[in-house]
């Protein structure tokens, strides 16, 4: 048997050791075994729900004022898109579970329709775990103006931002504003995931009113 690349002594070898060494050995083995198990991220069931059913958020969700974690998404051509590449610009993230659902479709339309009321240099992106091909098809058919970022490959964004929903493996519905300094300036983590975020509040925050 091996643990972390080290061959462990057999039961026979342990029994053949002087008795004074055995307790020390067992404590050491227990310490190595515990260290080999990755720490499970925290989970919370009191933040979001689907109707009346609680949902479980995995990880620590980013708070306003914190530095926005860098994460790599994928565009329609599967090319990597890093959030850090937008540093120096105001970025709006509209996060949806799946664009193939009614509420997510409505949210994406409403955010897109609100873009003319935002400063022209604001970057607006819809983020989901849909495949990039599905996102591109939706954007073309619905004629939405937001960029599309897919978190399908490894779930880097969901893990770093604390937005993964344990029951579905999808992202929690939310909207975010990242300031030019790379810090989160605004967020709405929608309590009832069957409803849309407050688009008017988002627009006001983008324009400096929130």
Supply the residues annotated as catalytic: 104
State both tokens at 175: 């909207």
What is the phi/psi pair of residue 80, to 5°?
A: -70, 140
Kindly report the length of the chain: 210
Tell me the C-alpha distance between 208 and 210, whole Å. Answer: 6
Tell me the C-alpha distance between 171 and 61, whole Å. Answer: 12
Tell me the C-alpha distance between 195 and 103, whole Å. Answer: 7
Task: Write b or e for each residue in 28-63: b if 16 or more Cβ atoms lie within 10 A of its Cβ, otherwise e.
Answer: eeeeeeeeeeeeeeeebeeebeeeeeebebbbebbe
């Amino acid at each position: 048997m091996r643990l972390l690349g080290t061959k462990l002594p057999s039961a026979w070898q342990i029994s053949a050791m002087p008795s004074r060494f055995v307790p020390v050995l067992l404590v050491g083995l227990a310490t190595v075994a515990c260290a080999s198990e990755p720490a499970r991220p925290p989970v919370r069931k009191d933040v979001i729900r689907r109707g009346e059913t609680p949902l479980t958020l995995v990880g620590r969700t980013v708070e306003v004022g914190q530095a926005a974690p860098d994460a790599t998404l994928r565009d329609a051509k599967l090319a990597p898109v890093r959030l850090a590449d937008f540093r120096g610009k105001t970025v709006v993230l509209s996060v949806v579970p799946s664009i193939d659902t009614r509420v997510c479709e409505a949210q994406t339309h409403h955010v897109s329709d609100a873009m003319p009321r935002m400063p022209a240099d604001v970057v607006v992106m819809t983020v989901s775990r849909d495949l990039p091909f599905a996102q591109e098809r939706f954007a073309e058919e619905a004629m939405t103006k937001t960029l599309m970022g897919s978190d399908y490959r490894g779930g880097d964004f969901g893990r770093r931002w604390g937005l993964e929903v344990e029951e579905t493996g999808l992202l929690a519905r939310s909207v975010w504003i990242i300031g030019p300094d790379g810090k989160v300036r605004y967020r709405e983590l929608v309590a009832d995931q069957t409803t849309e975020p407050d688009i008017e509040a988002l627009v006001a925050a983008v324009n400096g009113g929130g």
